[in-house]
Copies of this chain bind each other. A is one copy, B any other.
Amino acid sequence: MTGFALRSKLLVPTLREPPSGAHCISHILLSRAGFIRQSAAGIHPIMPLGERVIQKLENLIDTELQSKPLYANKIRLPLLTSADLWHKSGRYFGAGDELMRLFDRKGKEFVLGPTHEETITHLVASLGARNSKDLPLNLYQTTSKYRDELRPRFGLLRGREFLMKDMYSFHETIACAHTTYSQVCGAYENILTALGLPFFKVDADAGNMGGTLTHEYQVLADIGEDDVVHCPSCGHSSNLELLPEHSQPDPICNREDIETGQPCIGSLQLRKGIEVAQAFLLGSKYSQVFNAKGGVPLVDLQMGCYGIGVSRLLAACVEVDSGHDAHGIIWPKIIAPYQAVVISAPGNAIARALYSGNAEEFSGLLGQSYQSGCEVLLDDRTKDSFGVKLLEANLIGVPYIVVVGKTYEEGLVELIIRKTGISQILPKEEAIRQIIGL
């Protein structure tokens, strides 16, 4: 989206605190800066600035999953899932009180699912046996998911209604399922790297999902609810839950080197992680139940499932050390809601009118710059002081802040880099070039 939006319409409620519950940096900053609100415990309306970030996260994920080698196709499964399917898979009772349930007017029961293995496997089965050539089949969606947490907290990090990207893969052979699993892990690593996040790929527990192989992607942050055991020497990481001896932590890695057969002598470190993604090889657990078959001779399809917690990932981007400072949020450029905020310098009434006209002109120039366009936020509020505008520009965490003032008549603007705080007086064309990234 090219062009600029009017700042005053964005409902940025300055310095509001999240309403209640356990606080963390991302929850406080996202609430203060007007990205999210809270309507009930663990339930968050996404405000205009937040929706822009989510849209960009979705685009980043779409691009990665739809291109080589996964060529995944995007679908949209209904949120209302027949409870019958969950009974059939045996997960209905296993999910316990975390599963949200409802009845329609005719008494038929539905669940609002945390994941959609039942629905997708039933759907693929209903299309008939798959030809070998039509496999592997990679389908995914990004939709609202539900988990009725006993203690929702930390804003988007542990919500009851959240946005999740869930992908499901169908295969003729176990080997093919392993290949796709590796490809998805590659895609996840590309996404987390593009966001500049510190993360570990961690051996994990399959839990209620079932399956033969699973990894989590843990973003390192002190608020994280997972304990990750990491060896800096061999690079291996596990969820602490997996280690049977974790009541008596052994400081030495001891993991056997695949090539030499020697145990690793590295010292284990314990880190806190936010689980932002997980991959599972499911085998034929669901395909057998729902009769999803394919190949020659006809076999129960091998399946994988792969989730990214989209709203949680948004919060994790703020929570990590590089995602904030004392002044507010610092967005990774690739998902920043805008590339730049333009504000006008202080002055007397006549000067302010001139500067704000010039700020609007400069926003227009920047918004129409180059082919791709640039997303600019013009702070056109007249009542608020320059100081408030600068504070809030920093709080919102957009990569560049442009101050338009006295020197604009000479073709100069002030360009502040949010991340470093470095400020330069530059010719406006040069400022535009820097913002556009040329």
A100 interface contact, C-beta 8 A: yes
Within 8 A of B (CB), among A1-49: 1, 3, 5-6, 8-11, 13, 37, 39-40, 43-48
Check B78–A79 contact: CB distance below 8 A. Answer: no
**A101 CB within 8 Å of chain B:** yes
Docked complex Cα distance between A134 and B7 (Å): 9
Looking at chain A's contact residues, the main secondary structure is mixed
Give the chain B neighbours of A161 by CB distance below 8 A.
Answer: 78-80
The answer to whether A11 touches B137 (Cβ under 8 A) is yes
A77 to B143, CA, bound (A): 13
Contact A382 B133 (CB under 8 A): yes
Of the candidate stretches A67-75, A409-417, A430-438, the one touching chain B is A67-75
Contact with B along A369-395 (1 / 0, CB 8 A): 001000000000111000000000000
Q: Nearest residue in B to A79 (C-beta to C-beta)?
A: B144
**Is there an interface contact between B128 and A13, defined as CB atoms closer than 8 Å?**
yes
Q: What CA separation (Å) do A25 and B397 show in the bound complex?
A: 50
Q: Give the size category of A's interface with B.
A: 35 or more
Residues on B with beta carbons closer than 8 Å to the beta carbon of A134 = 8-9
Residue in contact with A44 in the complex, picked from B71, B78, B381, CB distance below 8 Å = B78
A432 to B66 Cα, complex, angstroms: 24
Closest chain-B Cβ to A187's Cβ sits at a distance in Å of: 16
Q: How far is the CB of A293 from chain B (nearest CB, A)?
A: 15
Assess the B76–A45 pair: CB atoms within 8 A.
yes
Residue in B66, B128, B150 whose CB lies within 8 Å of A105: B150
Q: How many copies does the complex hold?
A: 2
In whole angstroms, how far apart are the Cα atoms of A105 and B74 in the complex?
A: 32
A112 vs B82: C-alpha distance in the bound complex, in angstroms? 16
Which of A119-127, A200-208, A269-277, A399-407 participates in binding chain B?
A119-127
> In the complex, what's the smallest C-beta–C-beta distance from A56 to chain B, in angstroms?
12
Chain B residues near A112 (CB-CB < 8 A): 102
Of B40, B74, B144, the residue contacting A108 (CB under 8 A) is: B40
Contact A48 B139 (CB under 8 A): yes
Inter-chain CA distance A310–B81, complex, in Å, is 21
Complex contact A39–B78 (CB within 8 A): yes
A160 within 8 A of B: yes
Shortest A150–chain B CB gap in Å is 7
> Is A250 among interface residues, defined by CB-CB distance under 8 A?
no
* A148 in the interface (beta carbon within 8 A): yes
Whether A75 contacts B46 in the complex (CB less than 8 A), given A9-B134, A11-B137, A133-B381, comes out as: yes
* Cα(A67)–Cα(B3), bound, Å: 9
**Chain A interface (Cβ within 8 Å of chain B)?**
1, 3, 5-6, 8-11, 13, 37, 39-40, 43-48, 50-52, 54-55, 62, 66-67, 71, 73-82, 97-98, 100-102, 104-105, 108, 112, 119, 122-124, 126-128, 131, 133-134, 137-139, 141, 143-144, 146, 148, 150, 160-161, 371, 381-383
Enumerate the 4 nearest inter-chain pairs by beta-carbon distance, A residue then B residue, closest first. Answer: A102-B102, A48-B73, A46-B76, A97-B105
